[in-house]
Amino acid sequence: MVDLQGPWTPLLGRLTLQEIPFDSPIVFGAFAFAATLAVIIIGLLTYYRGWGILWRDWLTSVDHKRIGIMYLIVGGVLLFRGFIDAVMMRTQQVMAAGPASPGYLGAEHGYLPPYHYDQVYGSHGTIMLIFAATPILAGFMNYLLPLQIGARDMAFPYLNSVALWMTAVGAGLVMLSLFVGDFSQAGWVGLTPLTEMSYSPDVGVDYWAWALEIGSIGTTLGAVNIIATIIKMRAPGMTWFRLPLFTWTALTTNVIGLTAFPVLGVALGLLLLDRYIGTHFFTTGFGGNFMLYTDLFWIWGHPEVYFIILPAWGMMSEIIPTFSEKPLFGYTVMVAATLSIGCISWTVWLHHFFTMGAGPIVNVFYSISTMLVSIPTGVKVFNWAFTMFRGRLTFTTPMLWAVSAIFMQLIGGLTGMMLAIPAINYMTHNTVFVIAHFHCVAMVTIFASVAGITFWFPKATGFKLDEASGQLVFWLFMAGTFTVFTAMFGLGFDGMPRRLAYIPYASWRPLMIVEEFGILLYCGSIAAFIYQIVVSVRNRAHNLVDVDAWGTTRSLEWMTHSPVPAYNFAVIPHVNARDEWAWRRDNGLADMLPEHYEDIEVPLNTPVPMFLGIATAGFGFAMVWRIWWLAAVSLAAVFIIIIIRSFGGTTGTVIPADAVRRTEQASRRKRRQNADNVLGDGVMAFAVKPRA
Amino acid sequence: MSTTSGHGQGSDPSKAVLWAESDHEHDIISTRLLGFWLYMLSDSLIFAALFTAYEVLTYNTSIAGGPTPAEVASPIRAYIETIVLLTSVLAFGLSMIALKRDRPRMVMAWMAVSALIGIGFLGMEWTELAGLAARGSTPQRSGYLSIFFTLIAVHGIHIAIGLLWMGVMLAQVARSGLTALVVYRMANLKIFWLYQALIWTFVFTFVYLRGSV
């Protein structure tokens, strides 16, 4: 029904050997790098006999903590990939400025032909927002939420695992597009009608759309799970206004996710119908309306921005009080600000296309609603400032990242307020000024996530990350950020358009050299981060921590052991105050132990979510390449797996009270030894000495 | 900063209860029902987006010289379809009453009736779309027909999944009786089946009644 403009066979669909780009040295280099990494990982796993552990403790696990860590790993890997894309783009632009700039590797200017460059910027955006930031935040939420509200697990542990696998399949499809076929060259927003079959006949757009569709199923299922967990699984005494702020932001963000992602699903679904059966939703003829796509996409797209930033604010609201040794200033107002930002997020989407002829009345409405966002956001910034005011500040690495995130918030937010004025927007639309603006906002998420990683790392592993190299990572990253984006704001004021593979004006080159220098600082920061991990793991014996890794923490997750046992809390705590752990510590109750233990029910491991993931991956791949038989088989497999499991027997098991007692005593004994070993070094973490 | 004042709502530490009495039982059925309601909320947004697209694509430009809503949508036929679908919902309601009275055979009987009527409805939707396509009004004809077919087909997919679910539940009730697992799944299926009928009433009003004038 659709003109494929190319060969198609029933067995392999559109897939041919020519689709594997042997001839591109860049792709081949990437493939060699990925293959080497895979060989090293497989070798290490085999050498350390890790396959059983990988299967038992990770791939089949339904434990929210392990799922959270797996989300973080998926997000981290994709973050690296997205960063490489950024390096490639910056390098291309600095090399391809001005008519005299030389060309290499078959490109007229720079080293990437436009077709390849367009795929790089499309995948950079798609990956960073959907497959890096979203999984990283989902990882934090999975790991922390049950701990913060005093639960043993999520409301639906099995569904949690399914959601993880859907996200991983989406990410996998994006990665696969690098080696088999092409990725979309229509930008991460999928500009219609460029994404239509007649203008993008190759599989790039299909990869992009199916990856997003499948990934967003994962996000939606995750949102159901997290909202149900917060509503239903709170410990006794954990009233709504005692919830830690991160939990509040997670709730808000997932309400956004639950309501926004289906709209993306529809926008992409209609686009795929256009591409697969030849309907006319967003085409240029036969009554298609491509502004409909733009609206539907941004009805999801703008809430998605807040989906990404709200948990970041939540983490900042946990970290800043901890290192100010004060409760969060204006807790109730913070909650109100979080919820109101969640509401406003639905009413601002049109500000992404003020220039597309909606008319002054409509533009003014969206201009004002956009400006309204600044009120609750400003409230948040002031509240963090007042939290620090007259606090006992300790500038550890997490605190440095969190405080810098406030600065990024100010820069990103204030330039956002400039863009909210349609008159200014007409001048800056599609310039790199906009790019610099939203990267500063996205940096809030990056900064807060690194802060969060450093802050909660000891909770997950039992030891802290190395402080000195952590500071190095921070300062390099900070310097890189300011170098790149200050220059980019300047280029934006000069009117440089975004998404250019070739820059006609050589006069823009000096500032782009500055940006490239900033990128080098970023590379240094990444190298320092890898060094930090290596050093921290090697010296972990010197950085072991007690339950309360920082000595001044406030919420429930710091009450249980580090690393957290499978059952989270030996006995569920009864919550008496907001910042329960700080309240217990300040009232001398931190060492109080429960009198008796009981049997604990935990869910059994299951490989079913992984099987669902494999079947879904088969479906996605088959649809991209139009291999109809494989698509039908995979989809049938998904349904059959779900139905078979619904007939299954027990899904839970019991940890006997005796075992719980033994684990508790063993970890207390170990902790005491550690404390005796290390206390002499004056490690702050042991300021609270456990009494056992 | 060791005063309690800053912690908000802190109770007297000397009298505080520090640990939960026992693992307080989270009500699994109510948790899962809540989860399913949340899922239905996201499903509603799918239909909200589709109805929005429908509204946009009924403008003259999107009809693109092809058949108009008045020529495509037949309110009389849709009215019969509505009655059929609501009868199926009624039968499912009777099945749920039997569930409350703990009569597994009656549960199965009424659910089978509901499913059979549902199959009939699906057949009516199918013949309607097939008939339109046979007259040349295919979804490829115009933007309007694209969204008309898609909206009806997405509703039809919901019906099909509901029917598949009923088949599975028939087998499970027959196999294990009315266990807690079966009961919560029946309750979720009830929500789902009522929900798709509710969506149909919107389709009937918005597409068929409004389209016919």
Q: To the nearest whole percent, how much of chain A has pLDDT over 70?
A: 97
Which chain A residues have a beta carbon less than 8 Å from that of B133?
none
Place of tokens 């250019």: A500
Range of the domain at B99: 27-61+69-212
Q: Which of residues 501-560 of A touch B (CB under 8 A)?
A: none
Which chain A residues have a beta carbon less than 8 Å from that of B3?
586
B9 domain residue, yes or no: no
Nearest beta carbon to residue A289 from set B16, B50, B143: B143
Which chain B residues have a beta carbon less than 8 Å from that of A217?
none
Name the pLDDT band for A1 (thresholds 50, 70, 90): low
pLDDT of residue A20: 83
Which chain B residues have a beta carbon less than 8 Å from that of A1?
140
Is residue B38 within 8 A of residue A594, CB to CB? The reply is no
* Residue of chain B with shortest Cα separation from A331: B8
Q: pLDDT tens for residues A536-577?
A: 999 988 888 888 899 999 999 999 988 899 899 999 999 999
Is residue A441 within 8 A of residue A407, CB to CB? The reply is no
Q: pLDDT tens for residues A208-235?
A: 999 999 999 999 999 999 999 999 999 9
Is the pLDDT at A607 greater than 80, yes or no? yes
Q: Which of residues 402-441 of A touch B (CB under 8 A)?
A: none
Place of tokens 């406003």: A344
Whole-model pTM: value is: 0.94
Name the domain count of chain B: 1
Alpha-carbon distance of A618 to A466, in angstroms, equals 42
pLDDT of residue B58: 93
Q: pLDDT tens for residues A385-440?
A: 999 999 999 999 999 999 999 999 999 999 999 999 999 999 999 999 999 999 99
Alpha-carbon distance of A635 to A404, in angstroms, equals 47
Alpha-carbon distance of B145 to A301, in angstroms, equals 27
Is the pLDDT at A680 greater than 60, yes or no? no
Which backbone phi and psi does A653 adopt, to 5 degrees? -140, 175
Is residue A490 within 8 A of residue A509, CB to CB? The reply is no
Which chain A residues have a beta carbon less than 8 Å from that of B64?
280, 285-287
Alpha-carbon distance of A253 to A246, in angstroms, equals 10
pLDDT of residue A685: 39
How many Å lie between the alpha carbon of B193 and the closest alpha carbon of chain A?
A: 18
Contact A242 B63 (CB under 8 A): no
Instruction: Using alpha carbons, list the distances in angstroms from residue A391 to A3, A329, A384, B127.
Output: 67, 11, 11, 72
Name the pLDDT band for B1 (thresholds 50, 70, 90): very low
Is the pLDDT at A294 greater than 50, yes or no? yes
pLDDT of residue A291: 93
B22 domain residue, yes or no: no
Q: What three-state secondary structure class fits A194?
A: coil
Contact B164 A586 (CB under 8 A): no
Name the pLDDT band for A673 (thresholds 50, 70, 90): low
Alpha-carbon distance of A128 to A83, in angstroms, equals 8
Name the pLDDT band for A165 (thresholds 50, 70, 90): very high
Average pLDDT over all residues of chain A: 92
Q: What three-state secondary structure class fits A653?
A: strand
Give the tokens for residue A563.
């690393």
Contact B139 A279 (CB under 8 A): yes
Q: Is the peptide bond before A510 cis (omega within 30 degrees of 0)?
A: no
Is the pLDDT at A45 greater than 50, yes or no? yes
B2 domain residue, yes or no: no
pLDDT of residue A690: 42
How far does CA A315 lie from the centroid of its chain?
13
Q: Which of residues 159-198 of A touch B (CB under 8 A)?
A: 159
Name the pLDDT band for A670 (thresholds 50, 70, 90): confident
Q: pLDDT tens for residues B118-162?
A: 999 999 999 999 999 999 999 999 999 999 999 999 999 999 999
Q: Cβ contacts of residue A370 below 8 Å, gap of 6+?
A: A348, A351, A416, A417, A420
Contact A239 B32 (CB under 8 A): no
Which chain B residues have a beta carbon less than 8 Å from that of A646?
168, 172, 185
Name the pLDDT band for A688 (thresholds 50, 70, 90): very low
Q: Which of residues 219-278 of A touch B (CB under 8 A)?
A: 220, 223-225, 227-228, 231-233, 235-237, 239, 241-242, 258-263, 265-267, 270, 273, 277-278
Domain ranges of chain A: 1-238
Contact B7 A155 (CB under 8 A): no
Q: pLDDT tens for residues A593-604?
A: 888 888 888 889
Contact A576 B18 (CB under 8 A): yes
SS (H, E, C) A35-65: HHHHHHHHHHHHHCCCHHHHHHHHHCCCCHH
Which CATH number covers residue B52? 1.20.120.80
ipTM: 0.94
Q: Cβ contacts of residue A305 below 8 Å, gap of 6+?
A: A345, A438, A441
Name the pLDDT band for B23 (thresholds 50, 70, 90): low
Contact B17 A586 (CB under 8 A): no
B20 domain residue, yes or no: no
Best of A217, A233, A240, A280 to disrupt the B interface by mutation (most B CBs within 10 Å)? Answer: A280
Is the pLDDT at A681 greater than 60, yes or no? no
**Burial profile A276-306: b = 16 or more Cβ within 10 angstroms, e = fewer:** eebbbbbbeebbbbbebbbbbbbbbbbbbbb
Contact A296 B52 (CB under 8 A): yes
Is residue A309 within 8 A of residue A447, CB to CB? The reply is no
Q: Architecture of domain A1-238 in CATH?
A: Up-down Bundle (1.20)
Alpha-carbon distance of A60 to A611, in angstroms, equals 10
pLDDT of residue A472: 97
Best of B146, B154, B172, B175 to disrupt the A interface by mutation (most A CBs within 10 Å)? Answer: B146
Is the pLDDT at A473 greater than 70, yes or no? yes
Contact B10 A239 (CB under 8 A): no
Is residue A401 within 8 A of residue A454, CB to CB? The reply is yes
Q: What three-state secondary structure class fits A601?
A: strand
Name the pLDDT band for B10 (thresholds 50, 70, 90): low
**A601, β-bridge pairs:** A654
User: Of A13, A7, A10, which is closest to residue A624 (Cα–Cα)?
Assistant: A13
Which chain A residues have a beta carbon less than 8 Å from that of B38?
223-224, 227-228, 258
Give the tokens for residue A157.
């542990």
Alpha-carbon distance of A226 to A138, in angstroms, equals 10
Q: Which of residues 570-599 of A touch B (CB under 8 A)?
A: 571-574, 576-579, 582-584, 586-589, 592, 594-595, 598
Contact B17 A237 (CB under 8 A): yes
- Residue A470 C-beta-side C-alpha neighbours within 13 Å: 21
Name the pLDDT band for A692 (thresholds 50, 70, 90): very low
CA A178-A182-A186 angle, 5° bins: 115
Q: Is the peptide bond before A193 cis (omega within 30 degrees of 0)?
A: yes
